[in-house]
Structure 1
Amino acid sequence: MLWLARQQEDLEADRLLGEQERRATRGRRLRAALYGVGDVGKQVVALLARRPDVQIVAALDADPLKVGRDLGDVVRLGRTLGVTVSCDPELLIGGVDTDVVIHATSPYLSVASPQLLPLLASGKSVISACDELVYPWASHPDMATRLDATAQGAGAALLAVGASPGFVTDALPLFLAAACSEVEALLVTRVIDLAKEPAAVQAAAGLGMTLDAFREAADQGAVGLPALLDSVALMAAKLGWRLDRSVEMIEPIRATKRWETEATIVGAGRVAGLRQLARGYRGDAEALRVDVIAFLGAPDPHEAIVVRGRPQISARIDGGIPSHLATAALMVHALPAVAVAPPGLLNVTDLLGTYADRIGS
């Protein structure tokens, strides 16, 4: 009966949130601004342009080839949008009235945080695609605290989402685990064919590097997924687990033949991809695992999630989830909720409902 009462509480909370969303925007469309019109930003624009309930009011990008042009032309939408791309951040801080800024410039907090802090201080709520912002409390606690305090002080909400981290490697496993009465371990595997991914994803995998150059870059955090351990930390936090240790490894995958992509040429013997593995342990037992295998021509791309528990759950997504399209969709779908969310630094499980918060209880 306690479980049923909790679910009734959840449904009532969801109903009230929906009413709050409708009241906040009654009689008008949501106003969204773009900060970054790269691969993800272009996908966001294409999705928003199909939605009658959202109005794009501004766009910002540092690329001089985009500045001064109509946003529709920049993203090759096939029509103009009446929004001129600017390079001046002040446009978003005080120049336009927006409900939410969609921020997609960098996976690294060192780049994103100087852009985000002025926005938050001005009271602008933000949805970001920054990988290191999805759950920064373990890896960047000082910056997480600063961003949270700035947002709360100005009444703004800040949420970061993405395909990984932010969905496949943390939120989705937690959602599946909600069907278990007991959870012993969460195991996630991603197999990605980099030949089908955009240039930015290929570059992050170190395509075309020598093996030695890759390993040196990996030691400096210049290649690979920058926040894989953050997915482990997020799952542990939501499960109520204290991890005794977390470890990560990253290794290059060598090309066995010559490849040509739109962005680069990869010779045989050079880097064709990577394997990156993050693990969290409770005692000596592996409790959390995120294993990413990404290389050119990878056969059978897919996402696989195993929940060891009672019952045991196995889920598989054949073909895998396209990184940038999924990230854009997650950002767009989060717009109404973030527009009325409580102030502060949120994470994706805050918008999933309360299931994830109760798994470990």
Structure 2
Amino acid sequence: MTAEPTTDAGDKDASTGDASTGKGATAGAVPAAHTVRDVAPPAHTAAEAMRAERSAPGNGMFRWSGVWRVYVWARGAEIRAEAGRVAALRPGDAEVPGVLAAVEEHVDVAEAYANERQGTRRWLTGQAVEGAWSNIHGATVLLYGLLPARELEGRAPEVLATGRAYLAADDARVQRLAARVAAGDVGEQDRPLLQSVLRAAYQAAAVESGRVRSFRNMLLGGVLILSLIVCGLVALGAAFPSWIPMCGHGTLLSMLGPNATLPQVCPTGGPGPSHGDVPLVALLGVLGAALATAASLSTRSELSTRYSLAVAQNLLKAPAGVATAILGLLILNSGFVPGFTGLSSQTAILVWAMVFGYAQQIVTRFVDQRANSLLHAASPDAPAGQSTR
């Protein structure tokens, strides 16, 4: 079973192109607009693909290649080698050339997707990643139709593991294949079953990966919106300190009597609200969120998926920490909490701001739980019983 690599990096421009191979321009002719695939035909080895990527026009230093491209190139080279071996084993077979041509076309298209430069829109939609892997999977399914019958029994456990990773345990195809593998008599008659299980598993993997990608995009949108809100809140508090009061009254001075004037205790240490109160509280909130993020890294388990949610999850914690720090201090100073009469010192205010920033974990943990659920469903490496499929 081939584990697909995690990728969460987008390419930096929106150059596009069709899947055809570009032809050389005749002398004196006006060249048409070219794409990566027009200028350089699909590579036939991983090394040639990497050279084509580096040498294609416009491939500047700001391009983020993505590890998934390396896996696509390597898998494409492996499929081509397998196809060549099968062709040598079945000379004169009228069925082989047509299937091999289809396999070659799938690999060419997959490598063309891997060689393209992708813009933000294609990165968000996952067009390159999904296009490359769907063609690699298509070529793999077709290749199973040509393998010698004596090799099917050795390949069947791998197909069964892929089916169990993505399909339901009670799927009839998986159960039937498991029985055939247990019996140890997988042969030519099981070739359609192997292809059916592979095809269904790859389709299910694409669906689960699509859910991870959609959730990642939702997270990034949430990070953007929440960041704009908290930035506006911090800017408002910095411009008009009295509108978002972060100051409290010293509780120890309340023994002076009911008629005593209680001095205010503010985050910046001044006698009254200042322009730096809200920004300082926001900074402490981010610090608390960063501590929570560092703590979560020790328990995070990375799974092999087409997309990663770790960056989006951690980015969400920063604006969430700012929001909880500001709202938390407002609640404490409002007298809403029974038995809590106020903040007694500048140090107490700063500590509470960091504590509330750390406490954003109470809210974002629901996002983390959903992310972990989706990642387990999309990964072939998820331990049994932890998937939501």
Larger RCO: 1 or 2 (CA < 8 Å, sep 6+): 1
Higher strand proportion, which one? 1
TM-score range, shorter chain: under 0.3
Q: More helix by proportion, 1 or 2?
A: 2
Tell me the TM-score normalised to structure 1 length.
0.23
Question: Which of the pair has more CA radius of gyration?
Answer: 2
- Normalized against structure 2, the TM-score is what? 0.21
